Amino acid sequence: MQKRNLTFWQLWNLSFGFFGVQIAYSLQSANISRIFATLGADPHDLSFFWILPPLMGLLVQPLVGKYSDRTWTRLGRRIPYLFLGSIIAILVMCMLPNAGNFGLAVSGAMMFGLISLMFLDTSINVAMQPFKMLVGDMVNEEQKAKAYSIQSFLCNAGSLVGYLFPIMFAAFGIANVAAEGQVPDTVKFAFYIGAAILILCVLYTTVKVKEMPPKEYAEFHGIDPEKKEEKAPSMFVLLKNAPKAFWTVGLVQFFCWAAFLYMWTYTNGAIAETCWGTTDVASEGYQQAGNWVGVLFAVQAVGSMLWALVIPKFKNLKTAYVVSLLIGAVGFASVFFVHNQYALLVSFALVGAAWAAMLALPFTILTNSLSGEHIGTYLGLFNGTICLPQIAAAACGGLVLSLVGGAQVSMFIVAGVLLVLGAVAVRFVKLK
C-alpha cells in the first residue's frame, strides 16, 4: 500500500486535542509545588510530591499502549482511551485545588491533595499517550518530523494558555491570596476553565479524526494479517528486541527529564526568594511569584514554539538535538545569576529550545526505527524514559538541594549540568 501524505489540516487534527490535554498538564506542572507549599509542605520535601506523576505515567502508559494496540471500536483504537482519560481528568481538576477547603488538618489536606494528584496525573497520562500513537499509526516516515513538530506547537500553545491563567485571573480582580492553608481563587479558576477547554478539545478530536480500520492499518504498516492470530509477545520480550534507538535516545531522555523535574519543583521557591525576597508561603510576595512562574513557563512555551519551527531546518536531527539542549542548559544556569523577574524571561525563552527538542525529536527518531505492529506498546514503554528519570530526580531532590547549599535557585545549576550531559549522550544515538 502506498503510504500517502496527509494534508496540513489532517496532521493538525491528529494532534489538536493535545492542546486541551496540555493545558491540564501545564496547570499541574506550574502549580503543584505552589499548592503543596501553600498547604504546608517543607521545601526539602517538595520533590517527593513529584514522584507520583511520573510513577503513574510509568504504570499507565505502557498499558494504554499495549491494550490500545488490540482495541478496535467504532471510535477507533486510540480515541476511546483519550476520551476516558480526559473525563476523569476533568473531574479531578475541579477537586485538587480545593484540598485546603474541607476543614482537614494539614496532613489530611496534603493526603487529599496527593490522592487527587495521583488520579489527575493518571488520567492525563491516559489521555496524552494516544496522541503520540495516532501520529505513529497514521503518518508515514516522510511526514513524521512535521507531524510531531505540529504536535509540539499545539502542546506548547496549550502550555501557554494554562501557565498564564492564574496571572490573567489576578488581573481581572480575582483574589490571589487566600486564608492560610488554602489555595487562592486564581489557581482554582485556572483549573476549572482548563477542565472546560479540555472536554471541548477532546470532542473536536473525536469528531474530526477517523482512525484506520484493521485491514487498512495492516496494509499501511506492512503487517501480515495472519500474525494477528498469534499470541502477542510480552512487554519483556518487546523490550529485549527493542531497536538500539530505544535505549540510546532513552539515555538522553534520562538527563533531560531530570533537569525539567527540578525546574518544575523549585522555580516558585527560587524566584520568590531571589526576586521577591521572601520564603513565607502565605505572603503576597510568594503568591505573586507563583503567578510569575506561570509567565516564565509561558515564555518557555513561546520559545519552544518558535524553536520548533527552526528544528526542521537542520539537516541532521542529532545536530538539532545537541544545539537545542545546550541552549537550554545556558538558560537554566543563567537563572542562578539573575535576580530581576523580567530578565528571567530571557532565561526561560532559552530553556524553551530544549523543551521543543524533547517533545519532537525522541519520538521522531524512535518511530522511524519501529514497524507499526507494536508501535503503541513501544511508545508506552518508551514513556519509561520520561518517567524513571523524574522519579529518580524527585527521590533525590531533597538530598541534592542540601548538597548545593539549600537555596532552591541552586537547583538550576544542577539542571543545566544535566542538559549538558544529555547533549553529550546524543552522540550515542544512531539514526535509521
CA distance 314 to 253: 20
pLDDT at 431 over 60: yes
Tens of pLDDT, residue by residue over 411-430, are 999 999 999 999 999 999 88
Q: Where are the domains of the chain?
A: 10-223+233-428
**Residue 125: all three cell numbers together:** 497520562
CA distance 40 to 43: 9
Q: Which residues touch 268 (CB under 8 Å, ≥6 apart)?
A: 33, 34, 37, 286, 289, 290, 293
User: What's the DSSP call for residue 232?
Assistant: P
pLDDT at 6 over 90: no
Q: Looking at domain 10-223+233-428, which CATH architecture does it have? A: Up-down Bundle (1.20)
- Select, from the ranges 26-35, 174-183, 216-225, 285-294, the one with the highest average predicted confidence (pLDDT): 285-294
pLDDT band for position 312 (cuts 50, 70, 90): confident
pLDDT at 372 over 70: no
Predicted pLDDT of residue 91: 92
Predicted pLDDT of residue 232: 62
Prediction pTM value: 0.76
Q: CA 82 → CA 127, 170, 215, 386, distances in Å?
A: 4, 32, 22, 19
pLDDT band for position 125 (cuts 50, 70, 90): confident
Predicted pLDDT of residue 427: 93
pLDDT at 117 over 60: yes
pLDDT band for position 1 (cuts 50, 70, 90): low
pLDDT at 350 over 70: yes
Tens of pLDDT, residue by residue over 181-202, are 788 999 999 999 999 999 999 8
